[in-house]
Structure 1
Amino acid sequence: MEAHSSSQRGDEVKEVRWGILGPGSIARTFAEAVKRVPGCSLSAVGSRSFERAADFASKHDVERPHGSYLELVNDPDVDAVYVATPHAFHCEHAILALRAGKAVLCEKPLALNARQAEAMARASREEGLFLMEAMWTRFLPAVKWVGERVRAGDWGEVKFVYADFGFRSSFDPASRLYDLRLGGGALLDVGVYPVSFATMLLGEPESVSSAAELGLSGVDESSSYLLAYANGAQALLSSSIIVATPQEARIVCERGWLRLKAPFFRSTSVEVHSGGEVEMHDFAIPGNGFEFQIEEAAARIRAGAVESSMMPHQESVAVLRTLDRIREPWGLKYPGDEASE
């Protein structure tokens, strides 16, 4: 599908001019990375507070701060918007940008739940504008190489995937991490990494089993999940915001196994065990790693695409369907779930 807006006209757009919606901590990482990507520039930033937008702009050399998200998405000198607000607002803000004629790179997870993600994908198709989940790990050289080699069957079929992402934080009910209204908790914040990794390798599971420790604020502070697939493969995954975990990933295949050294979501080294031998494969990550997803998004925007084959809409929706199924037995519901029903 070709785009119809002035922000996305195939080869006519030489430089992709980005605007940041939500100047939080993850936005700082994006701002540092986008300036290192050829053919991209950071033109504007939008916040609910002009003072906060202006402060971010001065620190990151951004020309135009905006005191509202609406002003940002209506900025004629912005081609694409990076949505960096909390999980609970991804759907609203991504659709706001799409309806204003902007391409969108939206932080992970794409939305609170699968219904919201489907609505976002639908808006992307209706507007003929690019939308991609910013699952930056997918685009890193080590993870990309592993995905390609596993799909090619170099070591036979995948039998097991093990992955975890946990870190220790202090309980703070005012923090985004512990606020249920913002989609806080381990599952959406860091559990999405191992689930997305397993989805990349095995697709959507046939059955899901899970357990969680719910904290005082109602969010899942630690959780684990067993995903079972129609071909007999299994994924054993876990996440936590109260304990540090190894943050490694292992893939066990018929004729060998692989280990992505910690942290697997930003790994630069893959260990391959096969035929009684061990091979090491090292990969460089220049910058902070966000550059790779920005390059992919910019290339697809210039091509007039509505999605990326590396992180297509249907896969982001599938990840969220799995996340929905994982939390269902816990009785965990976010306030934003009701708005999307």
Structure 2
Amino acid sequence: MKTPIEKRKIRWGIIGLGKIADKFATDLATIPDAELYAVASRNQEKANEFSKKHNALKAYDSYETLANDPNVDAVYIATPHTLHKENTIMCLEKGIAVLCEKPFAMNAEEVEEMITIAKANKTLLMEALWTYFLPHYQYVLKLLKDKTYGEVQSLSADFGFHRPYDTNTRLFDKALGGGSLLDIGIYPIFVSLSTLGLPKRISANATFFENGADSTCSMTFNYPNNVNAYLKSSLIEELPTQAIFECEKAIIKINTQFHAPTTVSIIKDGQEEIKDFNYNTIGYNFETIHFNNLLREGKTESSIMTFDFSHNLINTLDKLRKLINLEY
């Protein structure tokens, strides 16, 4: 008989063992009431190596075997975007709680199917958009909500880096949902939706690699009262990767790598004050702790990364893909 989850460590599984899974597993080890129990790859050797590095008890050579292990409480899905729906549903139907890496799926139809099955199985499901749970981002959200520096007048957010074009890597592989929009453009879009809400109008333009994956995407979100969000993603140039809110009384700037643990600058009357959050992890532990608490409390939906928010995010991505003629 299983020991109740309230009285033991939560046993995690990881499906898909790439770079993000490695970071997730590293931070999972810092959480006292959780442990990495099982990992799964389509390659046994890779599963063994990952298991050894992160002290997992089980290493499987198929995702299905992990999903069939009755000792798994929760699964982190870090497979390519195109597999998110399939892998999530497989686990939900086994009653395993799912934390699925962003983007939740390839389109709104897939996301709706995942959420419907989660509700039918009364099983916890959450999109793993880790930025939402980072202390510096929660700090900025509170400043904006409290109107500490007045109303937001404009937002600029970008995410860009240069990588050599290589269709053998997931990042550029259109068949796996590669390209700038779904992979990194989602972060500036997330900032706009989580602070300003859904825009009244959206405009966008993009450039493309020879295989049809987008190399850059520039977006403008129009909000009431002439408030605009200027957003950009790029896989061909280094961008500041900052989020800058121009407010009535000050500028709030989430500094470089805004989506990851970083600092926040408040620029007022020509003076800059930098707030340091003294991070000592990669940052994936914050979303995981939140998820663990939901699981222990018997919740099936996050109060922060809600289903409504995931719907709004994927619907916005779908609209943008239509505007730039990006089809998968």
TM-score, with structure 1 as normaliser: 0.92
1:217 to 211, 221, 224: 211
1:22 and 1:161 mapped to 2: Cα distance?
A: 35
**Counterpart residue identity of residue 234, structure 1:** N
Q: CA deviation at 1:89?
A: 0.8
Q: Percent identical across equivalent pairs?
A: 39
The structural deviation recorded for 1:55 is 2.3
Q: Does 1:128 align with 2:136?
A: no
Residue number among 252, 256, 274 corresponding to 2:268 in the alignment: 274
Aligned to 1:228: 222
> Number of matched residues?
327
CA drift of 1:275 comes to 5.2
- 279-288 vs 189-198, which deviates more? 279-288
Query: Does 2:8 match 1:14?
Result: yes
Alpha-carbon deviations, 1:23-76, whole Å to 9, x = none? 111111111110101211000011222232122212221110112111111111
Q: Which amino acid aligns with 1:181?
A: A
8 Å CA contact retained: 2:261, 2:282: no
The aligned residue for residue 93 of structure 1 is 87
| Root mean square deviation, CA, Å | 1.6
Shifted more, 231-240 versus 28-37: the winner is 231-240
Relative contact order, higher structure (CA 8 A, sep 6+): 1
What is the alpha-carbon distance in structure 1 between the residues aligned to residue 291 and residue 185 of structure 2?
24
How many angstroms does 1:157 deviate by?
A: 2.0
261-270 or 202-211, larger mean C-alpha shift: 261-270
Distance change in 2, residues 1:183/1:39 (3 Å): same
Quote the residue 1:240 is aligned against: 234
Alignment-derived partner of residue 29 in structure 1: 23
> Counterparts of 2:107 and 2:225 in 1: how far apart (Å)?
26
Give the residue type in structure 1 aligned to 2:151.
Answer: E
Instruction: For 2:123 and 2:179, locate their aligned partners in 1 and report how far apart those are by CA, in whole Å.
Output: 31
**Which shifted more, 224-233 or 236-245?**
224-233
Within 5 Å, give how 1:1-341 maps onto structure 2. Answer: 12=6, 14-274=8-268, 277-334=271-328
- Secondary structure at 1:160 match in 2: strand
- Rounded to whole Å, the distance in 2 between the matches of 1:190 and 1:271 is 23
* Greater alpha carbon shift after TM alignment, 272-281 vs 111-120: 272-281
Q: Which runs of 5+ in 1 are unaligned?
A: 1-5, 335-341
TM-aligned CA deviation for residue 324 of structure 1: 1.1
1:174 partner SS = coil
Letter in 2 for 1:98: L
Shift in Å, 1:231:
4.7
Supply the distance in 2 between the matched residues of 1:49 and 1:315 (Cα, whole angstroms): 35
Counterpart residue type for residue 260 of structure 2: R
1:125-184, CA deviations, whole angstroms, 9 ceiling, x for partnerless residues?
111111111111111111110011211221222221111100110011111111111000
* Residue 104 of structure 1: how far off its partner (Å): 0.6
Deviation per CA, 1:176-206, whole angstroms, max 9, x where unpaired?
1111110000001100111111111011112
Counterpart AA for 2:327: K
In 2, the alpha carbon distance for the partners of 1:35 and 1:156 equals 41
CA distance in 2, matches of 1:283, 1:228: 32
